[in-house]
Amino acid sequence: MKFSLSILLLIALACIAGTVLPQGREVAQYLHKYPSAASRMELLDKLGMTNIFSSWWFITLLGILGTNLTVCVARRLGMQKSATGQMRTRFLGTLLIHVSMLIILAGGAIRGFWAEKGFIEFREGESVDSFSTSSGPQKLPFEIQLVEFQIERHPRKDGGPDTDKDIYIEKLAIEWPEMNFNSEFPVEIDKEQTVATHSAQTHSNQSFKVNVARRINDFAIDLETREIKDNSDEMRNPAILVKVTGEGIDTEKWLFALYPDLDMKAHKTNEARRIPFKMRYNILVQQAEKAGIKAFKSTLKIIDGGTVAREKTIEVNAPLSYGGYSIYQTGYNEDDPKWTSLQVVHDPSVPVIYTGFILMIIGLLITTYRGMTA
């Protein structure tokens, strides 16, 4: 008993150290955060303190404890046979406790040698038949298809609607320093704006009509046909075609939000007189106001042998189990709402360890009851 307690104390100290000190992949993350700890972590690595639970000395301690428990079980079996009455029942309780500890140790060994843990990263509609582990990709005996991924948010505090897209506020700015004119108009297709000024020196009025004839999200030119086209719906190279008429001017020119100094005239141009003012295409981006994440969940299909064997929507702490594998919801990407990551765990030791805990509880109940009635 004293020897067992000594071994248990050493194992407990090792477990405390393994909890406090970075282990495995955590070491790289720790060094990234604290680069000055490199020499200290190198020393701990040499001492086997950065992979405690898989180190030879920790496994040796577990082996010694298992051997000691086996001897205790053998002795208890002999005492159980020769005991009578209440003592026989009490010996049965302690025997179950020792056997349960052996079973739990056996479960730990099974986990160390045969358990697998890794991750899957995919997007909505995709299917995978393997998962990534620290030792490389591992094949699954079935396919996992991500049918749908959903992110649920808390209601916004201000009661406003949630939006996943940024808001673009577009303005056509007109600057005419000589006439002390400076104004901005909203970018609206075919809505005519008036630019009118009065010169106190010449006692003359000048008036122009300005309107946006076309707007493009991603401006591009076909090199063969010279046709202006919109490459995508995303604001990669926004441009507007502005038409200016009045005071002998009838012209069109392209303005670019990302290239304000680029002067690109359209086909319809009258160069008899230049436009006396400057025009700019300005865009103010309002970031999308998103409420906090409330939950995220994945609807998965298990495809085994070409048929759908199981379908379930999983979320944090509500995994899907199939064929000895457990699939847990782990991650999301706010910038890509169709992407998610899952953790895959294959651990054949779970029923063995649970059996050990059940036997331990039964043994403790028997021992406690007989101790109270003795």
Q: Tell me the average pLDDT across 13-36.
A: 87
The answer to whether 344 and 133 are in contact (CB under 8 A) is: no
Q: What is the pLDDT of residue 86?
A: 66
90 CB burial (10 A radius; 0-12, 13-18, 19+): buried
Q: What is the pLDDT of residue 48?
A: 83
pLDDT tens per residue, range 178-195:
888 899 999 999 999 999
Q: Tell me the average pLDDT across 341-355.
A: 93
Q: How confident is the model at residue 270 (pLDDT cuts 50, 70, 90)?
A: low
- Predicted structure pTM score: 0.55
Check residues 290 and 7 and name the one with the higher pLDDT. Answer: 7
Q: Tell me the average pLDDT across 334-341.
A: 89
Using the predicted structure, report yes or no on whether residue 202 has a pLDDT greater than 70.
no
Q: What is the pLDDT of residue 159?
A: 57
Cα gap 88→90, rounded to integer Å: 5
| Domain ranges for the chain | 2-115+350-373, 117-157+291-346, 167-286
Q: In 10 A of CB 193, how many CB atoms?
A: 16
Mean pLDDT of the chain: 86
Buried residues in 17-33 as b, exposed as e (16+ CB within 10 A): ebeeebbeeebeebbee
Cα gap 236→283, rounded to integer Å: 12
Q: Tell me the average pLDDT across 324-332.
A: 94
Q: Which two tokens stand for residue 183?
A: 């104004």
Using the predicted structure, report yes or no on whether residue 285 has a pLDDT greater than 80.
yes
Q: In 10 A of CB 223, how many CB atoms?
A: 7
Q: What is the pLDDT of residue 2?
A: 82
Using the predicted structure, report yes or no on whether residue 315 has a pLDDT greater than 90.
yes
Q: Which ranges of 211-349 would DSSP assign to H, the alpha helix?
A: none
Check residues 5 and 25 and name the one with the higher pLDDT. Answer: 5
Q: What is the pLDDT of residue 129?
A: 95
Q: Tell me the average pLDDT across 320-343.
A: 92
